[in-house]
Amino acid sequence: MQMIELGRTGQQVSRMALGAMQMGGRTDERDSVHILDRYLEAGGSFIDTANCYEWWRRPGSLGGQSEELLGRWLRDGNRREQVFLATKGSAVPRFSNDLWTADGTANWELARRTFEGAGAETLRDALDGSLRRLGVDHVDLYYVHVDDRATPLEETLEALDGFVKAGKVRFLGWSNVRTWRLERIRQLCARNGWTLPVAVQQQHSYLRPAASSDSVSIVDGEQLDYLGEHDDQTLVAYSPILKGIYDSAAKREGHAMMGDYAGPDADARLAVLAEVAAESGVTPNQLVLAWLMHQGSPRVLPLIGPRTPEQFEDALPALDVKLSDEQLRRLDGAGA
């Protein structure tokens, strides 16, 4: 697998990152280990998790299963040195039985209101918990999972900088964050000599958010422009295939992911995507991954989340797709 530089750090990471969010939850241990092994075999190195994964799948749980599974896998095969390991803190909700409804589904509205946030002490405890579950003395990348506007940024940044100085974290990142906050973070880091985050993890795909979408999590035109101008921060694109909606009109129909995208612009882009996918001999999902990896400004590092070994194998051909300038122009230009 090709490698790319993370920000302007000199650190090389694999071109496609692997998300472990569902591992230990919807994906059982055997399939998870299979996917992780195959990812390393394919030359991958960049593995992503979070302390909260996946509290919402199991009533009574506050997460940790993904990190624990990764910890066992890293230990069993002595694999720590082969992996660029990323985790996150700040998005564990305060425990309440009301986090799950009677049928076991998560109450996200309550969860978002009660996230633990990015206070210094909270992050210190969260990071120590992650290191313990992962069975490592440091992680390579530590993200603020959900930007926390109730805590002074200075407090969060100074705490994160302390983690780097203590050797518990090598690089920093931020997720689910507005562009103006990225700029304020940049200024505070410069003024105080604190470590600048080098990864920005946002939802980003081929479809563009509809005008009615106002999500802190989805990259918009302004954020693309900002990150294009600041290549010391790499855009790590989560949900790059929007949970697999590109290959199936039936799956798109009523899928929660489409809420932020549906409309004439999406229809026009899906049509061109299907056209270019057919002429390239790949599926639309694969083409979206390839298109993301062809982006130059900003560079985009897709973070895939296969639930099954088959879905993981299905992502690999995207690494070999070469799009012509003409195809890229058509894909980029499509829209209402």
Q: Is 87 in the site for ligand NAP (CB under 6 A)?
A: no
Going by C-alpha positions, the residue among 89, 12, 16, 57 that lies closest to residue 300 is: 16
Q: Is 34 in the site for ligand NAP (CB under 6 A)?
A: no
Sheet strands (E) in the chain: 3-5, 12-14, 17-19, 46-48, 84-89, 139-144, 169-175, 199-203, 234-238, 300-304
Q: Is 178 in the site for ligand NAP (CB under 6 A)?
A: no
53 is catalytic: yes
Phi first, then psi: give them for residue 243, nearest 5 degrees.
Answer: 65, 25
Q: Is 168 in the site for ligand NAP (CB under 6 A)?
A: no
Q: Indicate the residue among 21 and 301 with the shorter CB distance to ligand NAP.
A: 21
Q: Indicate the residue among 145 and 252 with the shorter CB distance to ligand NAP.
A: 145
- Beta bridge mates, 202: 237
Q: Are 206 and 246 in contact (CB under 8 A)?
A: yes
Q: Indicate the residue among 58 and 330 with the shorter CB distance to ligand NAP.
A: 58
Q: Is 247 in the site for ligand NAP (CB under 6 A)?
A: yes
- Among 122, 175, 233, 234, the residue binding ligand NAP under the rule CB under 6 A is 175
Q: For residue 61, what is the DSSP state?
A: -
- Beta bridge mates, 252: none
Q: Is 19 in the site for ligand NAP (CB under 6 A)?
A: yes
Interaction with ligand NAP in 101-160: which residues (CB under 6 A)?
A: 145
In whole angstroms, the minimum distance from the beta carbon of 206 to ligand NAP comes to: 11
Interaction with ligand NAP in 274-303: which residues (CB under 6 A)?
A: 285, 303
Q: Indicate the residue among 186 and 243 with the shorter CB distance to ligand NAP.
A: 243
Q: Is 243 in the site for ligand NAP (CB under 6 A)?
A: yes
Q: Is 67 in the site for ligand NAP (CB under 6 A)?
A: no
- Among 71, 93, 244, 298, the residue binding ligand NAP under the rule CB under 6 A is 244
Q: Is 172 in the site for ligand NAP (CB under 6 A)?
A: no
Q: What is the token pair recorded at 34? A: 């299979």
In whole angstroms, the minimum distance from the beta carbon of 199 to ligand NAP comes to: 10
From 53, 206, 226, 261, the catalytic residue: 53
Q: Using CA atoms, how far apart are residues 219 and 20, in angstroms rounded to an integer?
A: 22
- Beta bridge mates, 13: 4
Q: Indicate the residue among 107 and 330 with the shorter CB distance to ligand NAP.
A: 107
Are β-strands 234-238 and 199-203 bridged in parallel, bridged antiparallel, or unpaired? parallel
- b/e per residue 236-261 (b: at least 16 CB within 10 A): bbbbbbbbbbbbeeeebeebebbebb
The backbone region for 219, taken as left when phi is positive above 0, alpha when psi lies in -120 to 50, beta otherwise, is beta
Binding stretches for ligand NAP (CB under 6 A) = 19-21, 48, 145, 175-176, 201, 238-244, 247, 285, 303-307, 311, 314
The catalytic residue positions are 53
